[in-house]
Amino acid sequence: MTDDMKITYATMSADQMETLHRGIDDAIEQIKPQLGKTYPMHIDGEAIESSEQFDDLSPIDTRTVLARFQTGTADHVRDAVRAARAAAPAWSARPWTERATIVRKIGDGIRSHRWELAAWMGYETGKNRLECVGDIEEAADFMTYYCDQLEAHGGFSQTMDKLGANEENSSVMRPHGVWAVISPFNFPMALAAGPAGGALVAGNTVVLKPATDTPRLGVRLYDIVAEAGVPPGVFNVVTGPGSTVGQEIAENPDIDGIVFTGSKEVGMMLFRVNGARPAPRPMITEMGGKNPALVMPSANLDKATEGVWRSAFGAQGQKCSACSRVYAASEVRDRFVEQLVEKTKQIKVGNPLERDVWMGPVINEAAVKIYEQAIEEAQRDGGRILTGGRRMTEEPFRHGYFLEPTVIDGLPNDHRLFVDELFVPITVVGEVSSFDQAMQLANDTEYGLTAGIFTEDDDEIARFFDGIQAGVVYANRQAGATTGAWPGINPFGGWKASGSSGRGAGGPYYVQQFLREQSRVRIY
């Protein structure tokens, strides 16, 4: 595949798909002999082992031990932070042009290993081939875009006006120091590499804690970062549980900033810990969503159906941007639901490493329990399971976490399934009598990440964009009603309980969050 042949979540030609399949087929065969190996952590350029390890099991078949990883401790985090702090002065002192050159090499390295990384991701996350390659390409594009932004703004330093002829004034953006990146299981490369790239290009050093369900990509990222020429101590990886590694990151006084992607509960805990510190530190958090799609009377129902099922069930519904609720106008509700159910029934569930499988397993048993509880509640409260609603336990699904994609209707619009983020392959459909009612229901949530509308009415689109309380909004997006943002194309960040900074990843204001302003005045 050539470098100008871009693969995203929303664009793919037949030729590209065949190239993708051949690349992943080859990578799977290369990876199979490596399954079961033990991998170290990386602190100050050294491979570090712990007294305990944990198994990384595939959600496709939990009998498959993908690898063994080190169970890091609070002491390992402290060691990593000390290494990062020691490396920070030299890294921040390098000309920003040199840092940008190195971070671009990280992006190039990710692209050059795209098939291998995507194959590992399929084994580890259960995402299908396209989703995995999209994750890898997105990670690389984050790196490139953040370098572009740094270069376009001259390192984020500029000359200011004068009050007198004998003075010189400037605004200089300077790095904070040490940043921790706590990455999620569902985008183990993009949401580790993206924040790390933003921090690094801005002159900070990084301690990465990958999710315990998907540590392989985080550890592999270290290799690529080192190959790009990042000095020892500038980028460190500590694997292990949130109860120890994550807690130490939250409480460590020598960490100057944290990027967190995960649940609202953990994100708010980090804010509470931050509030108890002697001085505040920057926090960039993305904490989930309950993302609506509105289907209005004038909607193209083919587009709406396609957009909703892709966003509802892509990555098994385990995206913070997944379309987990739909409000359909009464005039088109029956036809839309009929088409959505028909499309959902056609989704092939299975081993996502296979070419023709669109939906793989969820990540773990806890996700299965959330799904089963939601189905039970829907049935108890008068909802109709229009399709799906079952854990798949027959062969060949017996040893994995496979769930049927599920569409539910008949629940009151204030039911918990319309309100709470579930992170499983369930979407609920409600009926509305007007655009205003749809907007009121769409905004009636603590979250505000993504939202979509399907309508041919320009006035409704304008009112939707102006009135919806979400950070990423789409109109008539067939490739994904609420999903598919891309670096440099669609900044991705949430409002309300979905995010803390109001500045989206992959957007023009992201890198500045890793910097602090110094106003300089010189009198001659």
Predicted confidence band of residue 6 (pLDDT cuts 50, 70, 90): low
Predicted confidence band of residue 12 (pLDDT cuts 50, 70, 90): low
Predicted confidence band of residue 388 (pLDDT cuts 50, 70, 90): very high
Q: 48-57+67-287+502-518 and 291-486: same fold?
A: no
Instruction: Specify the 3-state DSSP secondary structure of 293.
Output: strand
At residue 333's C-alpha, the angle toward residues 332 and 338, to 5°, is: 105
Predicted confidence band of residue 160 (pLDDT cuts 50, 70, 90): very high
Cβ neighbors of 217 (< 8 A, separation 6 or more) are: 117, 120, 121, 124, 188, 189, 192, 210
Q: Is the pLDDT of residue 223 over 90?
A: yes
> What's the half-sphere exposure (Cβ side, CA atoms, 13 Å) at 6?
11
- Average pLDDT, stretch 143-163? 97
pLDDT at position 1 is: 42
Residue 132 Cα to chain centre, angstroms: 12
**Which amino acids are annotated catalytic?**
286, 320
| Cis bond before residue 396 (omega within 30° of 0) | yes
pLDDT at position 374 is: 98
CA distance 116 to 30: 8
pLDDT at position 11 is: 66
Predicted confidence band of residue 16 (pLDDT cuts 50, 70, 90): confident
pLDDT at position 100 is: 98
User: What pTM was estimated for this model as a whole?
Assistant: 0.95
CB environment 420-438: b (16+ within 10 A), e (fewer): bbbbbbbbbbbbbeebebb
Residue with tokens 């985080």: 218
2 versus 158: the higher-pLDDT residue is 158
SS3 content of the chain, % helix, strand, coil (to 5): 40, 20, 40
Predicted confidence band of residue 466 (pLDDT cuts 50, 70, 90): very high
DSSP annotation string for 229-271 = TPPTTTEEE--S-IIIIIHHHHH-TT--EEEEES-HHHHHHHH
Residue 438 is classified by DSSP as H
pLDDT at position 2 is: 44
CA distance 233 to 244: 21
Do residues 481 and 307 make contact, with C-beta atoms less than 8 angstroms apart?
Answer: yes
Q: Is the pLDDT of residue 342 over 50?
A: yes
Do residues 357 and 348 make contact, with C-beta atoms less than 8 angstroms apart?
Answer: yes
Q: What is the pLDDT of residues 225-267, one digit of tens each?
A: 999 999 999 999 999 999 999 999 999 999 999 999 999 999 9
Average pLDDT of every residue of the chain:
96
pLDDT at position 4 is: 52
Q: What is the pLDDT of residues 390-413, one digit of tens each?
A: 999 999 999 999 999 999 999 999
Span 48-57+67-287+502-518 CATH architecture: 3-Layer(aba) Sandwich (3.40)
pLDDT at position 212 is: 97
Q: Is the pLDDT of residue 9 over 90?
A: no
Closest alpha carbon to 292 in 489, 130, 432, 128: 432
In CATH terms, the fold of domain 291-486 is Aldehyde Dehydrogenase; Chain A, domain 2 (3.40.309)
Instruction: Specify the 3-state DSSP secondary structure of 381.
Output: coil
- Average pLDDT, stretch 348-365? 97
pLDDT at position 157 is: 96
Residue 234 Cα to chain centre, angstroms: 23
Tell me the β-bridge partners of 180. Answer: 207, 258
Q: Is the pLDDT of residue 299 over 50?
A: yes
Do residues 384 and 408 make contact, with C-beta atoms less than 8 angstroms apart?
Answer: yes
Q: What is the pLDDT of residues 168-187, one digit of tens each?
A: 999 999 999 999 999 999 99
What is the domain partition of the chain in residue ranges?
A: 48-57+67-287+502-518, 291-486
Predicted confidence band of residue 5 (pLDDT cuts 50, 70, 90): low
Do residues 112 and 166 make contact, with C-beta atoms less than 8 angstroms apart?
Answer: no
pLDDT at position 17 is: 86
Q: Is the pLDDT of residue 41 over 70?
A: yes
- How many other CB atoms sit within 10 Å of the CB of residue 61? 16
Residue 521 Cα to chain centre, angstroms: 41
Predicted confidence band of residue 14 (pLDDT cuts 50, 70, 90): confident
Q: Is the pLDDT of residue 357 over 60?
A: yes
